């Protein structure tokens, strides 16, 4: 991840953006009714996609300032620019910026890369986040948020059942489809490329976060293009294109030889429709 701007080696552009945010906030605080005797401003912005929240605290010489400001501080333009600047391809960017601004001009800042707490974000926020800042691995909390659909009416079958090669995360977060609907949708599925193969890997002795069953869509060279895994502890993992859930990732062509060398592993050729059924039932996304 990008270095913390508190480091002396942080690029000037990061420091300039942080300073711009500080000046904007202090200016608004004065105009909007902050006490003249403030000694410390404590701000925490949490951002996911285009959604966000701000927690604010003000200390004065007489203690905490509890009155509401006349107008909200909001989100200075520099915040989004700072997220863009600190984005690391395939890894993402920060979710939380905590600023402590002291009256004497000293500023400390801390960036958070874990799930913002205690905030609750919607599927649309997470989808925006992944489109704006694509990740090679999607944290479990983001994956779970994308699949928090509770009614039958909200479940839908993905409209295009055939994957196409590309690197976009468009369509990520498709809802889980009940198995009967997934089977129906996968009946006419055809591979997007000739010579694709589909295998099912069974590991009888799997425990905990080890995959007990894996379905793989293989390219002509034997490398994986999409994957569905069911783990011994009951979780499901997915990988495809440039994104994946926490415990699942795509393998290159050498992995098949490793499988074949393990006598405890069962490798079975399956029909394309079986793989597509599992993909849809697990909430697989489109790769555009």
Using the 3D structure, point to which of 65, 83, 112 is the last residue of a domain: 112
Please give the Cα distance from 131 to 126 (Å, whole number).
Answer: 9
**25 within domain boundaries:** yes
Residue 7 in any domain: the answer is: no
Q: Are residues 72 and 168 in the same domain?
A: no
| Widest pairwise Cα distance in the chain | 74
Let me know: does 92 contact 113? Beta carbons within 8 Å: yes
Query: In this structure, are 31 and 173 located in the same domain?
Result: no
Domain assignment of residue 35, yes or no = yes
Looking at 84, 112, 140, which one is the last position of a domain? 112
pLDDT tens per residue across span 250-261? 888 777 777 767
Digit-coded pLDDT (tens) for 163-208: 332 222 333 445 566 788 888 888 889 898 888 999 999 998 888 8
Q: What is the pLDDT along the chain (288 residues), one digit of tens a residue?
A: 344 444 455 566 888 888 888 887 766 665 455 677 888 888 888 889 888 888 888 888 887 876 655 445 667 778 888 999 999 988 899 999 998 888 887 888 899 999 887 566 677 788 888 888 888 778 888 877 776 543 333 333 333 333 332 222 333 445 566 788 888 888 889 898 888 999 999 998 888 888 999 999 999 888 899 999 999 888 888 888 767 777 888 888 777 777 767 788 898 999 999 999 999 888 887 665
Which burial class, exposed, middle or buried, applies to 155 when counting CB atoms under 10 A from its CB (0-12, 13-18, 19+)?
middle
On whether both 196 and 241 belong to a single domain, the answer is: yes
User: What range defines the domain where residue 83 resides?
Assistant: 12-112
Domain count, the chain: 2
Q: Establish if 2 belongs to a structural domain.
A: no
pTM (predicted TM-score): 0.51
């Amino acid at each position: 991840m990008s270095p913390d701007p508190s480091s002396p080696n942080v690029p000037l552009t990061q420091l300039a953006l942080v300073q711009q945010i500080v000046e904007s906030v202090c200016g608004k605080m004065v105009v909007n009714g902050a006490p003249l005797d403030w000694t410390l401003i404590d701000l925490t912005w949490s951002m996911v996609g285009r959604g966000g929240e701000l927690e604010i605290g003000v200390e004065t010489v007489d203690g905490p300032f509890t009155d509401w400001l006349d107008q909200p501080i909001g989100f200075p333009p520099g915040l989004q620019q700072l997220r863009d600047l600190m984005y690391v391809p395939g890894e993402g960017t920060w979710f939380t910026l905590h600023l402590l601004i002291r009256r004497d001009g000293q500023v400390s800042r801390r960036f958070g890369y874990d799930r913002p707490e205690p905030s609750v974000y919607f599927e649309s926020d997470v989808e925006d986040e992944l489109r704006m800042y694509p990740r090679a691995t999607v944290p479990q909390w983001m994956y779970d948020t994308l699949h928090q659909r509770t009614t039958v009416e909200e479940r839908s079958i993905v409209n295009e059942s055939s994957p196409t090669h590309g690197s976009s995360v468009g369509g990520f977060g498709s809802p889980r489809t009940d198995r009967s609907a997934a089977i129906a949708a996968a009946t006419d599925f055809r591979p997007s490329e000739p010579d694709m193969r589909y295998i099912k890997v069974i590991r009888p002795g799997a425990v905990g976060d080890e995959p007990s069953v894996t379905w793989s869509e293989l390219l002509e060279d034997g490398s994986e293009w999409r994957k569905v895994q069911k783990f011994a502890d009951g979780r499901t993992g997915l990988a495809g294109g440039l994104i994946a859930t926490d415990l699942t990732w795509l393998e290159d062509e050498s992995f098949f030889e490793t499988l074949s060398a393990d006598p405890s592993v069962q490798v079975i050729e399956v029909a394309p429709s079986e793989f597509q059924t599992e993909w849809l039932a697990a909430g697989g996304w489109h790769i555009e």
